[in-house]
Amino acid sequence: MKTRRFSTTLVRHQGVANGWVFATIPAAHAPPVTRGWGRTPVRATVDGHTWNTSVWRSKNGSSVLAVPKHIRGGKGDGDKVRVEITFDPED
């Protein structure tokens, strides 16, 4: 298992699903893609709230973590968060 910790800014997705808010993952901390559709299962912690989810590789090659409202609380677009992701690079 590998764990990566970093700070990042939340970004609201502009488009059809404009209710989604993502934490962008710096390239140096992005896990390798291990599943179809550019997905990697992870255990994520954002500002102390932990859940099982996936990191997704976007069409432009960046990696993002969708952060549900119940995890981010009152934070939203443009707010800084502390992120930890744990993943199995062999999985």
Residue-range domains of the chain with CATH:
2-87 (2.40.30.100)
Give the pLDDT confidence score for residue 47 in this predicted structure: 96
In three-state secondary structure terms, 15 is: coil
CB 26 within 8 A of CB 7: no
pLDDT tens digit string along 65-87? Answer: 999 999 998 999 999 999 999 99
Exposure on the CB side of residue 86, measured as CA atoms within 13 A:
6
Q: How confident is the model at residue 42 (pLDDT cuts 50, 70, 90)?
A: very high
Beta bridge partners of residue 22, listed in sequence order = 11, 66
User: Is residue 16 over pLDDT 90?
Assistant: no
Backbone dihedral angles phi then psi of residue 56, each to the nearest 5 degrees? -115, 140
